[in-house]
C-alpha cells in the first residue's frame, strides 16, 4: 500500500483517501467542523488546514487527496497560525451561550476553542444577532446565532434522507439556515442533525434543557424500535432515561438512527404511573398487589390444574433470547407443545434507509430460541381458534400486548380460565390477566437480541431496579457531589420493582418442580450456545459492543436438549 507521513508518523492509506481520512483510520486527529465521514466534502470551515511539504500554500485535509510519499505537518507554525485565525473568525459572532447551551460538554467548538484557539478576540464591535429558538420542525430547534454554517445538516437531508428540506439564505455574516418555503424539517431521521451539528445550533426539542451531559450516565445498548437493531447509547439521570442517541456500527446502522427509535422506545419505561411494580393477582374485577413468592406459587398451582393440551405458551419478539429460550424450555419440560409468538408487521413503517416493516427487535431471535410450534402444536392463529373452541383454557404470555395489536386475540383471551402475563406496563392485555408479573424493560436488564440480518447483539441495564428483597427503602445511588443527597432521594423514587422475565420464569419453574440454576443472563446464553448450532461457541465477550452474525441460518432445528 502507498504511505503518507503525518507529523513524523509513516502510515499506509487506501487509494482515493483524503489526508483527513487516512489520518482518522490511523488514530490521528485533525480538527474539523464541516467534514463528516458519511457526507460529501464541502470544505467551508477551513479548520483542517495543514502544511504539506513542497506545496506553496496550506491545504484543507478534508479535500486534499493523499499521495504516496506525501509529508504532512498538522502542527507546524504555519498550520497553527492559520488554525488560530480560523477559530478567531468563527468565534467573532458566536454568542457566549455555553452556560445555557445543551451542547456544552460535547461541543466541538467548545473543545477546539480550548485546544486550538488563542483564547482572546480582537473583535470589539457588536456581534451579529440572529433568530434564536426557531422550531425547524416537530423535533428540532434552531439557534441562528450559534450556527457556524458548516452545512452538515443540509447535506444530511440532501444525501442521506434524500429529502432536501434545509438551505442557506443571506450571505456573509448574515447567513443563516431555513427550511424551504412550505416545508419543515420533519423527515423520519431529522434528529440526526442534532448529533452531527458540531455546535449547539440544532437541539433536540424533546431533550432540550433536561440535563447537562456530565450529569448523565451512558450505556451501550440496542434500539428496540424495529428489527434493524440500531446500536445506541442510553443516557440516564436520576434513574430516568432522558435521551437515546445512535452509536456507530457500520454493520448495522452506521452513524444514524430514526426519530421513532429515539423518541418512542423509552417513554413507557419512564411512565411510573403505568409501570407494573411487583406482582398482581386478580380478585373480582381488580388486580391486587401481592408478594412475588405468592404469585409464583399461585401461577404454578393454577397451571397444574389443567391438562397439557389445554395450555399454550406465547413468547415475544420484544423479549430477549434468554427470556424466550427459558419459556420454550419450561413449555417443553411441562409437556406443552402449543407454542408461538405474534409477528408485528407494519408495511407503512419501513423504508430503504434503516426502518424495517418488522417493528419488533427480536422476532428472529424468538424463533431461534425455540418459540415456534412443536410437534402437534399450534401456531398463534390456531391457538386463538382453540381458545374460542374451548380447547385451550390457559395462556402464559411473555411481554407482548397482543390484545392491543390483535382484536381477535383480545376476544379470545377474555374467555380464558387463566391468563398469566409478563409485562412492563399495564395495558389491554394485563386488563384481562389473572396473574401479572412486573417485567424489566430492555433498558433494565442484560440479554441478547438478533436483528433481521441475523446479527446477535447485547442489551445492558442502564437504569436500576429494586433490590431482590423488594425493599425500596434506604437504597442509595452513589454520586459524589454537593447534590448527592437530593439526587439519591429523587432517583430512589424512580426505582421500579420489576424483574427480568427469565428470573420470573425460573421461580415459576421452581414451583412446578422444575429446578433451573442460572445466576445471570449469560448463564442462559452459554447454554443456548451449546444447544443451538447457530450460536455455537458464542458468549457475551465475543459479542462485544458491536455484535456478531449467527454462524448459520437461523432456521436450523434446535438441538435435542430443548
The tens digit of pLDDT for each residue in 421-443 reads 999 999 999 999 999 999 999 99
Cα–Cα nearest to 435, from 273, 292, 269: 292
Q: What percent of the chain has pLDDT over 70?
A: 93
Reported confidence tier of residue 491, pLDDT bands at 50, 70, 90: low
Angle between helices 501-511 and 292-303 (to 10 degrees): 60
**14 inside domain:** yes
Report the domain count for the chain: 2
Burial of 422 (0-12, 13-18, 19+ CB in 10 A): buried
End residue of a domain, out of 91, 118, 143: 91
Give the residue carrying C-alpha cell 487506501: 14
Strand duo 339-340 + 134-135: pairing = unpaired
Mean pLDDT of 288-311: 96
CATH classification at residue 544: 3.40.50.740
Per-residue pLDDT at 285:
87
The tens digit of pLDDT for each residue in 174-210 reads 999 999 999 999 999 999 999 999 999 999 999 999 9
Mean pLDDT of 30-58: 95
Rounded to an integer, what distance in angstroms lies between the CA atom of residue 283 and that of residue 289?
10
CATH classification at residue 24: 3.10.20.740
Rounded to an integer, what distance in angstroms lies between the CA atom of residue 408 and that of residue 385?
9
The tens digit of pLDDT for each residue in 237-285 reads 999 999 999 999 999 999 999 999 999 999 999 998 999 999 999 998 8
* SS3 state at 456: strand
Per-residue pLDDT at 476:
43
Per-residue pLDDT at 466:
84
Reported confidence tier of residue 492, pLDDT bands at 50, 70, 90: low
End residue of a domain, out of 38, 61, 91: 91
**356 inside domain:** yes
Rounded to an integer, what distance in angstroms lies between the CA atom of residue 538 and that of residue 550?
9
Rounded to an integer, what distance in angstroms lies between the CA atom of residue 503 and that of residue 327?
11
Residues 6+ apart with CB under 8 A from 468: none
**143 inside domain:** no
End residue of a domain, out of 75, 91, 107: 91
Break the chain down into helix, strand, coil percent, rounded to 5. Answer: 30, 20, 50
* Domain of 24, in residue numbers: 2-91
Reported confidence tier of residue 489, pLDDT bands at 50, 70, 90: low
The tens digit of pLDDT for each residue in 108-133 reads 999 999 988 888 888 888 899 999 99
Amino acid at each position: 500500500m502507498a504511505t503518507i507521513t503525518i507529523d513524523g508518523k509513516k502510515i499506509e492509506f487506501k487509494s482515493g483517501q483524503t489526508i483527513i481520512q487516512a489520518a482518522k483510520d490511523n488514530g490521528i486527529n485533525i480538527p474539523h467542523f464541516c467534514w463528516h465521514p458519511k457526507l460529501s466534502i464541502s470544505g467551508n470551515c477551513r479548520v483542517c488546514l495543514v502544511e504539506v511539504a513542497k506545496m506553496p500554500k496550506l491545504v484543507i485535509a478534508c479535500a486534499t487527496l493523499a499521495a504516496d510519499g506525501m509529508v504532512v505537518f498538522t502542527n507546524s507554525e504555519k498550520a497553527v497560525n492559520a488554525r488560530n485565525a480560523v477559530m478567531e473568525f468563527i468565534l467573532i459572532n458566536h454568542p457566549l451561550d455555553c452556560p445555557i447551551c445543551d451542547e456544552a460538554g460535547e461541543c466541538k467548538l467548545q473543545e477546539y476553542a480550548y485546544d486550538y484557539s488563542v483564547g482572546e478576540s480582537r473583535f470589539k464591535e457588536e456581534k451579529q444577532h440572529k433568530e434564536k429558538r426557531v422550531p425547524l420542525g416537530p423535533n428540532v430547534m434552531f439557534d441562528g446565532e450559534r450556527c457556524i454554517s458548516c452545512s452538515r445538516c443540509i447535506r444530511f437531508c440532501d444525501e442521506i434522507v434524500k429529502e432536501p428540506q434545509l438551505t442557506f439564505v443571506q450571505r456573509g455574516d448574515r447567513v443563516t439556515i431555513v427550511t424551504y418555503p412550505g416545508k419543515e424539517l420533519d423527515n423520519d431521521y431529522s434528529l440526526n442533525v442534532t448529533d452531527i451539528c458540531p455546535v449547539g445550533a440544532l437541539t433536540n426539542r424533546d431533550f432540550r434543557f433536561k440535563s447537562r451531559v456530565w450529569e448523565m450516565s451512558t450505556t451501550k445498548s440496542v434500539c428496540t424500535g424495529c428489527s434493524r437493531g440500531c446500536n445506541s447509547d442510553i443516557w440516564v439521570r436520576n434513574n430516568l432515561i432522558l435521551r437515546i442517541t445512535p452509536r456507530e456500527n457500520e454493520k448495522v446502522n452506521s452513524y444514524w438512527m430514526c426519530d421513532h427509535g429515539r423518541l418512542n422506545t423509552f417513554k413507557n419505561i419512564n411512565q411510573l404511573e403505568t409501570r407494573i411494580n411487583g406482582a398482581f393477582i386478580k380478585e373480582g374485577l381488580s388486580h391486587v398487589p401481592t408478594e412475588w413468592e405468592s404469585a409464583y406459587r399461585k401461577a404454578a398451582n393454577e397451571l397444574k390444574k389443567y391438562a397439557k393440551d389445554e395450555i399454550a405458551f406465547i413468547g415475544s419478539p420484544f423479549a430477549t433470547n434468554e427470556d424466550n429460550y427459558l419459556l420454550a424450555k419450561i413449555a417443553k419440560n411441562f409437556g406443552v407443545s402449543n407454542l408461538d409468538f405474534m409477528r408485528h408487521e407494519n408495511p407503512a413503517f419501513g423504508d430503504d434507509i434503516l426502518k424495517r416493516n418488522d417493528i419488533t427487535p427480536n422476532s428472529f431471535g424468538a424463533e431461534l430460541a425455540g418459540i415456534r410450534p412443536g410437534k402437534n402444536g399450534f401456531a398463534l392463529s390456531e391457538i386463538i381458534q382453540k381458545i374460542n373452541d374451548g380447547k385451550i383454557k390457559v395462556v402464559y404470555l411473555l411481554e407482548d400486548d397482543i390484545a392491543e395489536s390483535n382484536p381477535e386475540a383480545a376476544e379470545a383471551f377474555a374467555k380464558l380460565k387463566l391468563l398469566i402475563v409478563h409485562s412492563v406496563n399495564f395495558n389491554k392485555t394485563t386488563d384481562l390477566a389473572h396473574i401479572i408479573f412486573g417485567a424489566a424493560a430492555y433498558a433494565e436488564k442484560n440479554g441478547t437480541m438478533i436483528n433481521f440480518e441475523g446479527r446477535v447483539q447485547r442489551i445492558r441495564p442502564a437504569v436500576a431496579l429494586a433490590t431482590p428483597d423488594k425493599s425500596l427503602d434506604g437504597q442509595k445511588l452513589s454520586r459524589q457531589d454537593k447534590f448527592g443527597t437530593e439526587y439519591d432521594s429523587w432517583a430512589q423514587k424512580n426505582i421500579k420493582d420489576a424483574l427480568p422475565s427469565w428470573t420470573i420464569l425460573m421461580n415459576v419453574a421452581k414451583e412446578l418442580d422444575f429446578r433451573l440454576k442460572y445466576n445471570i443472563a449469560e448463564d442462559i446464553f452459554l447454554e443456548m450456545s451449546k444447544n443451538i448450532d447457530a450460536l455455537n461457541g458464542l458468549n457475551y465477550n465475543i459479542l462485544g459492543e458491536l455484535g456478531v452474525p449467527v454462524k448459520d441460518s437461523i432456521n436450523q432445528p434446535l438441538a435435542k436438549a430443548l
